A and B are shown apart, each in its own frame.
Chain A
Amino acid sequence: KAGVTQTPRYLIKTRGQQVTLSCSPISGHRSVSWYQQTPGQGLQFLFEYFSETQRNKGNFPGRFSGRQFSNSRSEMNVSTLELGDSALYLCASSSAGAGGIGEQYFGPGTRLTVT
């Protein structure tokens, strides 16, 4: 079974631009979560989607948004990029249903650098 895939793996953007990151979960997984990892703040929860609905959102500004498609693939978008948005963005998927119990499997991440 293929794992969680994320594209692109690396990205360099300029301040003020916007970016879209993509995540394909493990086949059959309906829950997709996004996390930001930086040396200073560590791993921080962005949002979680289940069956195309956002179930939870972290404490990030509105510039960060996401969505999930009917095939469970997910995208996250960051508008008006700032230098502080430079980070590793990780996507995770889970096979658990609405009960939410189970483990998450993480993708390789997208390394975003904002200059």
Chain B
Amino acid sequence: ELKVEQNPLFLSMQEGKNYTIYCNYSTTSDRLYWYRQDPGKSLESLFVLLSNGAVKQEGRLMASLDTKARLSTLHITAAVHDLSATYFCAVDIEPGTYKYIFGTGTRLKVLA
């Protein structure tokens, strides 16, 4: 059974600190996506990673993909309160279609 696991599930961190969210998946795929969800809101696309070794950065967030290890990371640098949200990774497992399998989500709270 395909599994996409994120850890940690909950993360409370101080402003200014760095941290990494991990996304492990159990099938071969070279397409992985990161989304952000604010409470009561929909999903906002953050990063699209389409090959082994892909690295993308936007502001204080950086995502990477290691398809051999079946691992993606979302690194947060010098966290600010506005980054508080739930972060999901999703794996695209069927080439040619959009059948995403989402991770469990990481609820991030940045304390001022």
Chain A interface residues (CB < 8 Å from chain B):
31, 33, 35, 42-45, 48, 50, 55-56, 58, 90, 92, 94, 98-109
Residues 75 to 95 of chain B near chain A (Cβ within 8 Å): 88, 90, 92, 94-95
Chain B interface residues (CB < 8 Å from chain A):
31, 33, 35, 41-45, 48, 50, 88, 90, 92, 94-105
Task: Pick the residue among A45, A90, A94, A107 that contacts B99 (CB under 8 A).
Answer: A45
Interchain CB contact under 8 A, A108 and B99? no
Chain A residue contacts of B98, Cβ below 8 A: 31, 33, 48, 55-56, 92, 94, 100, 104
Known A-B contacts A103-B33, A108-B42; A48 and B102 likewise in contact (beta carbons under 8 Å): no
Question: How distant is B6 from chain A, measured CB to nearest CB, in Å?
Answer: 10
Known A-B contacts A42-B104, A101-B50; A109 and B94 likewise in contact (beta carbons under 8 Å): no
Task: Pick the residue among A44, A45, A48, A90 that contacts B43 (CB under 8 A).
Answer: A90
Q: How far is B99's CA from A43's CA once the two chains are assembled, in angstroms?
A: 12
Q: How far is B92's CA from A45's CA once the two chains are assembled, in angstroms?
A: 11
Interchain CB contact under 8 A, B100 and A33? yes
Chain A residue contacts of B100, Cβ below 8 A: 33, 35, 43, 45, 104
Interchain CB contact under 8 A, B97 and A103? no
Task: Pick the residue among B92, B97, B101, B102 that contacts A55 (CB under 8 A).
Answer: B97
Q: How far is B98's CA from A24's CA once the two chains are assembled, in angstroms?
A: 17
